[in-house]
Structure 1
């Protein structure tokens, strides 16, 4: 064999092996990120640990997870900045360590709610946001033609990470939480909190093991990584190859409102697609984020036992991970305006079913619908992240994407804040209120997108 061919073959094999290692590293990071998405159930343990019912600062703790979502969303589009400054190994080591140490400090300072809140808002949430798109940014160069599927795999591992985090907590605690939610008088608080502290330390060990392994597998790319992160389509969670771009442009010209000339983010603010997408994001995330953030509290108030609620949440969080894969296969090639109309119709139908299930006190259907609304957040994220590059182009896409993530986080805060001030025992009234608001918003989006 010609020596030149041997050298080329060796380079190809080394490149593939390196790509495999980086891919595994990214998957491990996504497992760590899954800890964040398990918080709606872990929040139950956390509130009992800090004595939520006896605190005078319940509002800020009540909306703490919604605040975490906003902060995480604000940091997601800026992962490339930290990646350029630190490199992948240092970035993973630093922010995974911060997450792990935060769980350890929460276990140590279990009665100091202010420490827990500060760690959640200013350490865990920003760290998760920065790590969120890091696996994609470090892996895309090895799988240029499979970027769509790469994103799907990464999201699947977020769901699996949340599932494993719940298993760590519930392995010894399910009986105690069932007593707490379903028959409070037999609940053993001290036994529970002792095990919760152990579980938090277990999450610390879990995060450190995964983080160290991920950091060892990834390597600093040759040259300046800044040269590789130059456009929004490298940050977005849906990459279009040339054929897909041509197909998308053809679809837009026939069915969507597209732009003949590149536009900037400030120019996009006054466009009809931007306004429709903004209303869609707000109306599609108000109720789902309320249910997601207060999952256990809402289900308990509606008469659903802890075990049933926890089981459906575990199923929904795994399906949340697979939603991107389903979107890529069945929805991504459809015209944008058709996707918006179908999404609006589906949301209106879900709202009607949800209202009927509450009206007739059908706890089985309520439980299923709460799970579906949780999964719908993944679908909404997939729609906006894949549609933005098609509609607004590279000049405006990063700004539009950042804005949409921000208003998703604000929607979570708004819905959770309003629900906090509803009288105790008025959960049904609260859900009816948000259902009407969401239904009207979806109807408006459906009408104007025709």
Structure 2
């Protein structure tokens, strides 16, 4: 059903990745995913070692046990993972493109050697704490603070109730405090909508310091650090989404990521994650499209398959066009990334365009399946609900529109 035959432009290695991940999801994920979604569970601890053995965790990073594969190979893997479910791709993205990428880009050699080999193997899980309850699209205004112990005293500020109206993909905050003596760091704040939060062995937490925004590695079990799951979600149900609370969390001086200062640190990691999303969305859309084509060929009304009616064929044709265009965008941006020429604006273009295309495909597929389209017997409503969150996390549609608007006009509309 790939009229443009986009995959013909892949290398042998990239097709090997495609086939390996597709076989894994068909055997290990697809038979169980509807149940996980319905139950609101995701067996992260069970799947992480299997994903590690396949080399999918941090697969685009080099050294420290990572596979060091191309950007396009990583994108193809994300496409096949999200064809199974956005929650599965989100787990791999947060592990590799956010938590591991932050350590790989900005960490010390000691931090890299301590965490990356275990995370690549799926023996340790990471999460990424940036978004705050009231600071989703404006992370530069974060309230989470880190102070040197002894810099100022004071009791912890009263914890504010998180705003749960936001969608998954970020973290939360509250005003700072400090303690006394020494060179340790003391962190206070709240992070919200954190994928992998409650199952993570280490959290990469971004906090404001007197010297600018810095990243910190917070191991699970550190006194004052808690993670609690967010329930009653109707999207990304097969994904662990958590709130992180830091209440006078004391960390040694070497817990800080030394390689970056300022908002460019977390934003650099977000660009990596957005790249995986622009591929993953193609997989989610493809899954819906394939279900719609199969259904249209076999479902009969008025004495013939509904796929024989012109209106149904029009829907399927537009879905084919949308996915073909999205696949070309993903491949082009991937090749640019492998050549070291990709820009954040191009990644925003891909994330915006491809997620919108996939969501439109999912909605059209649902109409072809009729009432059957809202059941978990088919993947369509699950992908459609998930894509409503994918449209918002790692940068909302509005953020990416303004990013492109600034690139076009040279004028900043954010402030």
The structure richer in strand per residue is: 2
State TM-score, norm by structure 2: 0.28
Compare CA radii of gyration and give the structure with the larger one: 1
State TM-score, norm by structure 1: 0.27
Larger RCO (alpha carbons 8 Å, 6+ apart)? 1
The structure richer in helix per residue is: 1
